[in-house]
Structure 1
Amino acid sequence: MKLLYAIHKYDVFMFSWLINASIHNSLTRISRYVSRTGDGQLYVLVMALLYWHEGLQNMPLQAILLAFSLERPLYFVLKNGFRRNRPEAALKNFHSFIKPSDKFSFPSGHTSAAFMMATLLGHFFPILLIPLCCWAGLVGFSRVALGVHFPTDILVGCVMGISIALFSIGQII
């Protein structure tokens, strides 16, 4: 229990530091746009393009479909199992900058999906790996900057997304 308390205390410290940083207002504007890129529409577009290119025989598409079939259920089980309150509910006198789609924060689904897609696409298209990982990191950071996640929500989302992507690649190849 002491470990969980220490992690939460660290989370609140890092979250508060970012929210109170002098450049936070500028970050919030940019973060709204970056966060929207992780809402899911781009993933559907990528899958449609991959399908259009080679149909269901497309290995990247097969890996993405397998990964999402694992990631989404695991995400819902963890989110509803841990039931960690979002910063707005956990911290007095704080209001997030956007309205989240659900009640709980752990893990970050935006971050999980972004890192999963970045890892999958980066594996099959290596030239895109670094830009995609940077994008995924920005998606995760934007969720903290917008006040809907704590840093460890992002960290666990990142690990979860990469792990599921690597597992899916191993199953397809």
Structure 2
Amino acid sequence: MMMPAPIQRFDNAFSAMCLCHRYSQAVAAFSRHVSRTGDGPLYLIFALCAWWFDSAQGRELVVTGLTAFAIELPLYVVLKNSVKRSRPSHLPSFITPSDKYSLPSGHTAAAFIMAALITSYYPELAWLVWPWALLIGLSRVLLGVHYISDILVGAVFGLACFEFASLS
């Protein structure tokens, strides 16, 4: 899918600024580590800890989280395969993405679901989880596999899925 020209121009310029400098290899190494925290195992560890150490509230957190991801994952697949926005291909890429298309960023959507989920049950952790979710999204741009607009859409999409799950 072709984005409107002003958005695509901004995306290209932002990605070029992030990827075409002499520190890009070092930034990519750090970004790779940040991005891996959004692959899923950390979510499972947090859920198990919440369930184990905070029984009633932890179980509620796990059920809400599972509901949010049950909403997010199928919609994500449909959205990504309907929009079919190509990933950045004219700039350096420091990892091989798991699929062909870029919009929305699944890592960002999942991180924002987790940040909203954790904050709603443990607000004292907000200072930690929101910057982490933002770093997950930014790491995907710094690795050359997403545009910044993919990250923004992923964040909004993740928050919407969490909000919908919270209603049930």
Q: Which one of 125, 131, 134 corresponds to residue 134 of structure 1?
A: 131
Q: How far does residue 57 in structure 1 lie from its aligned partner after superposition?
A: 7.8
In the alignment, is the contact (CA less than 8 A) between 1:144 and 1:150 conserved in 2?
yes
Q: Which ranges of structure 1 fall in alignment gaps of 5 or more residues?
A: none
For 2:68, the equivalent position in structure 1 comes to 67
> Is the contact made by 1:56 and 1:62 (CA closer than 8 Å) also made in structure 2?
no
Shift of the 142–3 alpha-carbon distance from structure 1 to 2, 3 Å rule, reads closer
RMSD, aligned α-carbons: 2.0
Q: Distance in 2 between matches of 1:2 and 1:24?
A: 27
Residue aligning to 1:163: 160
- Residues of 2 paired with 1:78 and 1:22: CA distance? 35
**2:4 partner SS:** helix
The answer as to whether partners of 1:15 and 1:151 remain within 8 angstroms in 2 is yes
Taking the aligned partners of 2:127 and 2:57, their CA distance within structure 1 comes to 27
- Quick check: 53-62 or 156-165, which moved more? 53-62
Separation of aligned partners in 1, 2:52 and 2:78: 32
Q: Is the Cα contact below 8 Å between 2:57 and 2:121 reproduced in 1?
A: no
Q: Distance in 2 between matches of 1:74 and 1:48?
A: 25
Q: TM-score, normalised by structure 1?
A: 0.89
**8 Å Cα contact 1:120-1:166 kept in structure 2:** no
Name the CA distance, whole Å, in 1 between partners of 2:92 and 2:140.
13
Q: Distance in 2 between matches of 1:36 and 1:27?
A: 14
Q: What amino acid is the match of 2:30?
A: I
Uncovered stretches (5+) of structure 2, i.e. residues with no partner: none
* CA deviations over 1:118-156 (Å, ceiling 9, x no partner): 011111000111210000000000000000000000000
Give the direction of change, closer, same or farther, for the CA distance of 1:123–1:56 in structure 2 (3 Å limit). Answer: closer
Q: Describe the superposition over 1:19-51 as per-residue Cα deviations: whole angstroms up to 9, x where unpaired.
A: 123432321111010000001111122222233
Superposed displacement of residue 3, structure 1: 6.9
Give the counterpart of 1:103 among 87, 100, 103.
100
Post-superposition, which runs of at least 4 consecutive aligned residues in structure 1 deviate over 4 A?
none
Q: Give me the whole-angstrom Cα distance separating, in 1, the residues matched to 2:3 and 2:113.
A: 28
CA contact (8 A) 1:19 1:145 kept: yes
What CA distance in whole angstroms lies between the structure 2 residues aligned with 1:99 and 1:137? 21
Q: Give the length in aligned residue pairs.
A: 167
C-alpha change, 1:57 and 1:46, in structure 2 (3 Å) is closer
